[in-house]
Chains A and B, each alone.
Chain A
Amino acid sequence: MTRPVTASGNQGLQLEQALIFEQDTPGMTAVDLPAAPKITERLGALKNTQAIGLPGMSEPDVVRHYTRLSQKNYSIDSGFYPLGSCTMKHNPRLNEKMARLPGFADVHPFQPISTVQGALELIDTTAHWLKELTGMAAVAMSPAAGAHGELCGLMCIKAAHEANGQGHRKTVLVPESAHGTNPATAALCGYAVESIPANAEGRVDIDALKAHLRDDIAAVMITNPNTCGLFERDAILIAELIHAAGAYFYMDGANFNAIVGRLRLVDLGVDAMHINLHKTFSTPHGGGGPGAGPTVLSEKLAPFAPVPQVVKVGESYIAEEHAGFGAAKQSYGRMKGYHGQFGVFVRALSYMMAMGGDGLKQASGDAVLNANYIMARLSTEMTPAFEGPCMHECVFDDRFLKGTNITTLDIAKALIDEGVHPPTMYFPLVVHGALLMEPTETESKQTLDQFINSMLSLARKAKSGLADAEFKAAPQLAPRRRLDETKAARRPILRWTPPASSAAKQAAE
C-alpha cells in the first residue's frame, strides 16, 4: 500500500510538527510589551553575545504546537493499552473533580497545621483504607512512587535489623519472577542481591529458596502475583521459611490490583509492601501525574516508618515531622520533602470511597476475568507460557511463531497498525519471546473482542508465511515507521542543536 506524498508532509489530518526551536521567527511575540529601557551594561566580560534561543512565535502557533504534540500521544484516554505489569486503566473523572476542589487544590505544605486539618484528615483516612485493605499495622504515606516505596520498605527492614543487633545481614534474595526494580532497590540500600530461580510453573522454587536462606539474609522480595501473572500460592510457606531464618518478607505490591479485597497481606505474613496508587487505585499513570507508593508495614517494622507521619491527637491532627520524637521515636528519618503526593491521595481516596469495599473486590475479580478471557481466546492461535488460569495479566511465549520468520517484535509493531498499544514484550525474561498483556478491569468485552480479533488475525497471518514483508515493514500506518532502536540506544542524540547554518548566523550576529 503506498500513500500519496504531500507537499506539506502532512498525512490527512495527522499534522507534522517541527520542534518549537525550529519555528522561531525572531522578534515575534504574542503580547505587546513596552520597549525595554536603555540601560548601561554592567556585566563586562560576562555580557551575553548570542541569541538566547527562545523561539519567537504567535499565540495560535504556540497553541497548535502543543495541541498537535498532545494528539501524537497515545494514551488510555484514546485507546486500549494492554501494557503488561503497568495496569493502564481508566482514571475516573470523579477523582479529578475532587482533586480540583479549592480546599484540596490550593493548600500549601507550609500552611499552619490549624488551617490544613481537612487535608491531614484526608491523608489519615486514605491511610486507614490502605491499612484496612491489607490488615497491616501502619502505612508510610510519603514514598513518591512504587520503587520509592520499595526503598522505604527496605530502609525500614535495615533499620529494624540494626536495632535488633542483626546488622550483619547483608544479602537480599530476589526471585527471577520479581519486578526488575526489586534488585535495584536492594542494591541501592547497600545489599548484595542473590537470585532465586523459578520452577517450571513460573513460581518461586521453594527448594532453591530454602538453599539460599542463611543467617546473613536480610530480606526476601517477592512480587505477588508475580510478573508471569501467577499467584505465588506458597506465599504463607515462603513467609514461614523467611521468618524462621530471621529475615523479613517484602512483597512487591505492583500487582495488588489482582487481589485487593480478596486477601489480607497480614494473613500472608508480609512485613512490608508498597501500593502503587496509580495502578490499583486508578490515579493517573506516567506523565499523567506523579505516582505515589504508600508502603504498608507489619507490627515489627511499623516503629521504623519514615517521617512525616500524620497523627490524630484528641480531635485534631498533627504532622510528626522529626525522627526521634513521639510516635516517630525509632523512625529511620525522612525520604521526601513534604507529606507525599497529596493530589494523588485525593484521587485514590475518591476512588476507594466511590467503589466501596465490595466494589474493590469486584474490580480485582473483573481484572482477573478479563485477563483469563484474553488468554482463553488467544490460546487457539498462540501459546500461553504457563498452564492453567492466570491472574490480572497473561503471558504468551513465541512457540507459536516457531518455523516462521516473524518475531515477537514484528507482532508488536504490527499491532500499532491495528490501532493498539503493543503489550509488554520480551519480559518477563524467564519467558522466551514474551508478550505480557494486562487488559485491566475497566475494559469492556467489546474492546477485548476487538483486540482479540486483531491478535488472532496477526497470529494467523504470521503462521501463513504470506505476509512476512508486511510484518517486517510494520508499522506502516503510524506517523513514524519502525524506528532503529539499536542505533537509538548505541548512538543516542539527547539534545537538540541548531542546524549548522543557523548556528553560524547566530555567531555572526
Chain B
Amino acid sequence: MSQMRFTKEHEWIKIDGNVATVGITQFAQGQLGDIVFVEVPAAGKVLKAGGEAAVVESVKAASEVYSPASGTVNEGNAKLPDAPETVNSDPQGAGWFFKMTLSDLKELDGLMDEAAYEKYCAELH
C-alpha cells in the first residue's frame, strides 16, 4: 500500500517500498498559475534530501523543485517538457516529475501526512 507525504516546499512524494514518485502539490500549482516550462532530472542523477531536483516555470515565476528525500533518479517524466499544462490539470497524478530509488527511508519520518499538510497550507493564508 503506497502512501503520500508532503514537504513544506509543496512537493509530494508517493512511497512504494523503496521506490517513490515525486511531484508538486495541488496547492503549489494553484499558487504558480499556468505552468509553461518544466525540466525534470535524468535517470541516474543522485539527489540529496532538500537539494534541487527539477525546475518549474509559470507565467508568474520560476522555481526549483526540491527532492523530498535522498536517492537516485529512475526516470524523469518525459511527457512533461512537451505538456507542462499537465502539472496544472493533474499535479498529483499524471503531472508527476520523477521516480526515484530512496537511499534512506528514515528521512521520510520528517515529512507531513495529508492532514498535516492541509493544516500547513491553511495557515499560510
Chain A interface main SS type: mixed
In the bound complex, do residue A426 and residue B34 qualify as a contact, i.e. CB atoms below 8 Å apart?
no
User: Known: A486-B34, A489-B36. Is A426-B84 also a contact (CB below 8 A)?
Assistant: no
Contact check: which of A427, A429, A432, A489 meets B59 at CB < 8 Å? A489
Contact with B along A483-501 (1 / 0, CB 8 A): 0011001100000000000
Closest to B60 in A: A426
State whether B59 touches A486 (Cβ < 8 A): yes
Indicate if the CB atoms of A490 and B60 lie closer than 8 Å: no
Q: Are A429 and B36 in contact (CB under 8 A)?
A: no
* Nearest Cβ on chain B to A212's Cβ, whole angstroms: 13
Beta-carbon contact of B36 and A490 below 8 Å: yes
Is B75 an interface residue when CB atoms closer than 8 A count as contact? no
A485–B34 CA distance with the chains assembled, in angstroms: 9
B85 at the interface (CB under 8 A from A): yes
When chains A and B are docked, how far (Å) is the Cα of A178 from the Cα of B37?
A: 23
- Cα-based distance from A427 to B57 in the complex (angstroms): 14
**Please, which residue of chain B has its CB at the minimum distance from the CB of A490?**
B36
| Of B36, B37, B61, B85, the contact of A426 (CB 8 Å cutoff) | B61
A168 to chain B minimum Cβ distance, whole angstroms, is: 19
Residue in B closest to A432 when the chains form the complex, CB atoms: B125
Q: How large is the interface on B (under 10, 10 to 19, 20 to 34, 35 or more residues)?
A: 10 to 19
Q: Which of A401-427 contact B (CB under 8 A)?
A: 425-427
A: contact size bracket: under 10
B37–A489 touching, CB < 8 Å:
yes
Is B61 touching A485 in the complex (CB atoms < 8 A)? no
How near does chain B come to A41, taking the closest CB pair, in angstroms?
45
B56-82 contacts to A (CB < 8 Å): 57, 59-61, 63
Q: Contact at A490–B84, with CB atoms within 8 Å?
A: yes
Q: Which of B37, B61, B84, B85 contacts A429 (CB 8 A)?
A: B61
Q: What residues of chain A lie closer than 8 Å to B125, measured between beta carbons?
A: 432
- Give the interface centre of A425, A432, A485 by most chain B CB atoms within 10 Å: A485
Report the separation of the CA atoms of residues A432 and B27 in the bound assembly, to the nearest whole angstrom. 14
Determine the distance from Cα of A489 to Cα of B59 in the docked complex, in whole angstroms. Answer: 8
C-alpha gap A291/B57 in the complex (Å): 27
* A300–B59 CA distance with the chains assembled, in angstroms: 42
Q: Cβ of A425: which chain B residues have Cβ within 8 Å of it? A: 60
B59 proximity list for chain A (CB < 8 A): 485-486, 489
Within 425-472 of A, Cβ neighbours of B (below 8 Å) are at 425-427, 429, 432
Within 8 A of B (CB), among A258-285: none
Those of A14-61 within 8 Å (CB) of chain B: none
Tell me the nearest residue of chain A to B36, going by C-beta. Answer: A489
The answer, among A427, A432, A486, for a CB contact under 8 Å with B36, is A486
Give every chain A residue within 8 A of B34 (Cβ-Cβ).
485-486, 489
Residue of B nearest to A426 (CB): B60
B26 to chain A, nearest CB (A): 17
B95 CB to closest chain A CB (Å) equals 14
The distance in angstroms between the C-alpha atoms of A226 and B35, with both chains bound, is 27
Chain B residue with Cβ nearest A407: B33
Nearest to A402 among chain B residues (CB) is B125
CA distance in complex: A309, B36 (Å): 44
A99 CA to B16 CA, complexed, in Å: 68
Closest to B84 in A: A490
Residues of chain B contacted by A426 (CB below 8 angstroms): 60-61
A426-B61 Cα distance, complex, nearest whole Å: 7
Assembled-state Cα–Cα distance A432/B37 (Å) = 21
Q: How far is the CA of A427 from the CA of B60 in the complex (A)?
A: 8
Shortest beta-carbon distance from A190 to chain B in Å:
15
Residue of B nearest to A428 (CB): B61
A489 to B57, CA, bound (A): 10
Q: Are B61 and A490 in contact (CB under 8 A)?
A: no
Cα A432 to Cα B121 with chains together (Å): 14
Which residues of chain A are within 8 angstroms of B85 by Cβ–Cβ distance? 490
Measured CB to CB, the nearest residue on chain A to B34 is: A486
Complex contacts, A490 vs chain B, CB 8 Å? 36, 84-85
Can you offer 19 A-B residue contacts whose CB atoms are under 8 A? A426-B60, A426-B61, A427-B61, A429-B61, A429-B63, A432-B125, A485-B34, A485-B59, A486-B34, A486-B36, A486-B59, A489-B34, A489-B36, A489-B37, A489-B57, A489-B59, A490-B36, A490-B84, A490-B85
Report, nearest first, the 3 A-B pairs whose CB atoms are least far apart.
Answer: A489-B36, A486-B34, A426-B60
Binding site for A on B (CB under 8 A): 34, 36-37, 57, 59-61, 63, 84-85, 125
9 more A-B residue pairs beyond the given contacts A489-B37, A490-B84, with a C-beta to C-beta distance below 8 A:
A426-B60, A429-B63, A432-B125, A485-B34, A486-B34, A486-B36, A489-B34, A489-B57, A489-B59
